[in-house]
Amino acid sequence: MEARTPEEKLQALQEFLSAVPKHKGTERLRMQVTRQMAALKKELEERKKKKVGGGEQFFVEKEGDVQLVILGFPGSGKTSLFRCLTGKEEPPGASRKPAPGILAWNGVYFQVVDTPPILSESSSGKLMALARNADALILTIDSTMDVYLQLDSLLKLLDDNRITVEKPKAIVEIEKRATGGVTIIGDLINATTQDVISLLREYNIYHAIVRIQGKATLDDIEEAIFGSYAYKPAVVMLTKVDLLDGNTLKSMAEKLMESTSLPVHLFTSTQCSSLRVEEIASYIFKELDLIKVYTRNPKTGEVEKRPIVIKRGAKVIDVARKIHSDLYKNFKYARIWSPRLVFSPQKVGRDFQLEDGDIIEIVA
């Protein structure tokens, strides 16, 4: 889990695999490791190939609260959408490298990334790495071309790269910590906390926060240790809708919505106001299970306009940690303002669980 580069990951997996005893009980595990190693090797090979051609900077450093990557086939309207979302001008014509811009929503900063087009399955490695690193995706579908072919191809490509846009029954995140034992936030099925602790111990994980959305089995937790499938919430953007007549568009949109569980939006870049920013942003925010917490300055009583964006289930101490290590180390108590409380402010301890919209003042 600490390995950062593909090279380090490959080496760590190699070492791990040679340490796993070979018997029936470890079969699944060994297969999983072997599969992951194969994927890493492929990634490394592709990278080598690209280097020969003088690799351009492709990776986009995350900034803001949520990174939203636009993906689509050539000329499907990615850059036009990007311009409407961020107000930032990008040079017209075929995009050659990713470009970041900012979309602000309720004080939350979405970093929107325009990308070069998907040209073929074999050349899409870098784009898929970009998608894997993103928090969420927008898939542009050109309404003047075969929309099903585009959507199916995009979804297949993502799936081949172990990226899913369908919300899994359980989403498990394992955050390793230096101390504190194992904390489980969320629900298990057919397993106890002790089972999870034992499982993690098998992988030499002794301190961790295990966050579960939905209900997780032990298998789900084991998958999460390997990070095998990544869930990226996505919206489908049907573009260039000004080029279709009303009835054609209506029946196309209806059929497309029936064929996918993803939200489908209609968009024309001739009118940026056709973008339903509120719906898109709030959907992604909700799917990512994030909340907004507003900090209050104890000296001035002023409430920050820009919220702290944090995972649902976060406690007061998690917010303190996110703001500054000193606030975390010297934490005394916090005061919370919220209409959900019987009275505000309420004085609370480090383990008080926060909700969306809470105002918090930390005293250290």
The set of residues, in sequence order, having a beta carbon less than 8 Å from that of 300 and lying 6+ positions away, is none
- Binding residue count for Mg ion, defined by CB under 5 A: 3
Q: For the chain, where are the E strands, in sequence order?
A: 66-72, 99-105, 108-114, 136-142, 163-164, 170-176, 182-188, 208-216, 230-231, 234-239, 264-266, 290-295, 308-311, 333-337, 346-348, 359-363
- The count of other CB atoms within 10 Å of the CB of residue 159 is 13
Chosen residue from 16, 30, 33, 75 binding ligand GTP by CB under 6 A: 75
Reduced to 3 states (helix: H, G, I; strand: E, B; else coil), residue 359 is strand
- Of residues 89-128, those binding Mg ion (CB under 5 A): 95
- 259-128-134-268 Cα dihedral, nearest 10 degrees: -50
Site string for ligand GTP, 94-133 (x = CB under 6 A): xx---------------------x----------------
Report the C-alpha gap between 221 and 235 in whole angstroms.
Answer: 27
78 touching ligand GTP, by CB under 6 A: yes
The item of Mg ion, ligand GTP, none sharing an interface with residue 240, based on CB under 5 to 8 Å by kind, is ligand GTP
Residue 87 within binding range of ligand GTP, rule CB under 6 A:
no
Q: What is the closest distance, in whole angstroms, from the C-beta atom of residue 362 to ligand GTP in the complex? A: 44
Q: Give the separation between CA 72 and CA 118, rounded to whole angstroms.
A: 6
Q: Does residue 36 interact with Mg ion by CB under 5 A?
A: no
End-to-end CA distance of the chain: 32
Determine if 76 is a binding residue for ligand GTP (CB under 6 A). yes
Point out which residues pair with 237 in neighbouring strands: 140, 265
Crossing angle (nearest 10°) for helices 218-226 and 193-202: 30
86 binding ligand GTP? (CB under 6 A): no
Sole window of 76-84, 98-106, 172-180, 302-310 interacting with ligand GTP (rule: CB under 6 A): 76-84
Closest approach, Cβ 322 to ligand GTP, in A, equals 35
Stretch that binds ligand GTP, among 71-79, 226-234, 298-306, 351-359 (CB under 6 A): 71-79
Footprint on this chain of ligand GTP (rule: CB under 6 A)? 72, 74-80, 94-95, 117, 239-240, 242-243, 268-270
Footprint on this chain of Mg ion (rule: CB under 5 A)? 78-79, 95
